[in-house]
Structure 1
Amino acid sequence: MNTARSQNRPDDNPWVLSTRELARRPGNQRTVARTVPAPSGDAEIGLTGVITVPGGSDVELDVSLESVTEGVYVSGTADARLAGECSRCLEPIGEDVQVRIGELFAYPDSVTEETTDADEIPRLVDERIDLTQTVRDAIVTELPMAPLCREDCPGLCVECGERWADLPSDHGHETLDPRWAALRERLPSTD
């Protein structure tokens, strides 16, 4: 057997689920619970440089596949661990996220497939569904655009760049009126 070919089979992708046993009979159902590795590189889930599900980290899927007239309806949850940095103080942050999934995957030659654009609704391909984009969309819509390490994060000092949380309460910087700067340069230092 050609190993290069076998490595690229859809069955090798843990995000791809077979619907063969549902047999296109409305009402047939099965559940799937599995841990899959998060996509990495350009396919990473999240807001790159802000907050993401790190590539290769575990994503827990707990879904139900139900055959309906127009396709297979997938419902359930996906759990993942997010990693990023606070948008105010730049400290690393991590938090768990759980998202609900509810998506119809259209059968080939169904009315739904014929009446919708390819990017509007996912399709079954060779009796298989790929949950990658569905989970990605669900997680991304739940992500904060400006993640915080805590709601009252004071951020960074604009003068020295240190975290306000690490600085003493009397921290400050001498502010010299720019009109006096030239005079200060001419006077001897008292430091």
Structure 2
Amino acid sequence: MSVKPFAIDIRSVPRRAGSLVEVDRTVVTPDRIGAEMIGIPADSEVQLDLRLESVTEGVLVSGTVSAPTAGQCGRCLDALDDSVSVYLTELFAYPDSETDKTSDEEDVERIVDEEVDLEQTIIDAIATELPLSPVCSPDCPGLCHVCGVRLADAEPDHGHDIIDPRWAKLADKLVEPAPEDPDADGRS
């Protein structure tokens, strides 16, 4: 049986509207969560600070999920270490409730075997919170498009004279010869 680190047993939440249980726990995510350039690494600790509130149609889960993130700058490719914190609000419908009966499968989360599984809710929230192209600093100049050197570390006058290959043969013809030295032919 696979372990579901983001599944929370709700048997301690009385099935009486307004009943509330607070959950404060740290879980370890087995898989990476996030975007291509940045995310929560696998085997990271994820802090859950949640309220499980019984409502007429199910259990309303709200609260904060926090975790460290790792990735790389979208401009210079340097490593990034940061953290992310998202606020969740998700209704998990009781089996056979009106919400369960009248909602499509993808429209509302369900309580299954007296558990709410927050994994997909957390994945969705993290995905919308993290940038698609993170940067190490807002003014990161990135990499030189010719040689790949990190521009923040390059000399101020870093640059490349690039000749269009279609004109390269003409470059030799446009180079002016060095002036002749009148003393070079032996006449004085």
TM-score, length-normalised on structure 1?
0.84
1:21 aligned onto 2:9: no
Question: How many residue pairs were aligned?
Answer: 174
Aligned identity (percent) is: 51
Alignment of 1:5-154 (within 5 A): 8=1, 12-40=3-31, 44-48=32-36, 50-154=37-141
Residue matched to 2:147: 160
SS in 1 for 2:159: coil
Gaps of 5+ in 1: 1-7
* Contact persistence 1:39–1:45 (CA under 8 A): no
Q: CA deviation at 1:39?
A: 3.3
Partner-residue secondary structure (3-state), 1:141: helix
Q: Which amino acid aligns with 1:126?
A: D
For 2:172 and 2:25, locate their aligned partners in 1 and report how far apart those are by CA, in whole Å: 69
Uncovered stretches (5+) of structure 2, i.e. residues with no partner: 176-188
Q: Which amino acid aligns with 2:78?
A: E
Deviations 1:73-100 (A, max 9, x none): 0011000111111111111112111100
Which aligned runs of 4 or more in structure 1 are off by greater than 4 angstroms? 183-187
Larger radius of gyration: 2
Counting helix residues as a fraction of each chain, which structure ranks higher? 1
Alignment RMSD (CA, Å): 1.8
- The TM-score with structure 2 as length reference comes to 0.86
Residues 118-170 of structure 1 show CA distances to partners (whole Å, capped at 9, x for unaligned) of 11111001111111111111111111111111111101111111110010101
Q: CA deviation at 1:179?
A: 5.2
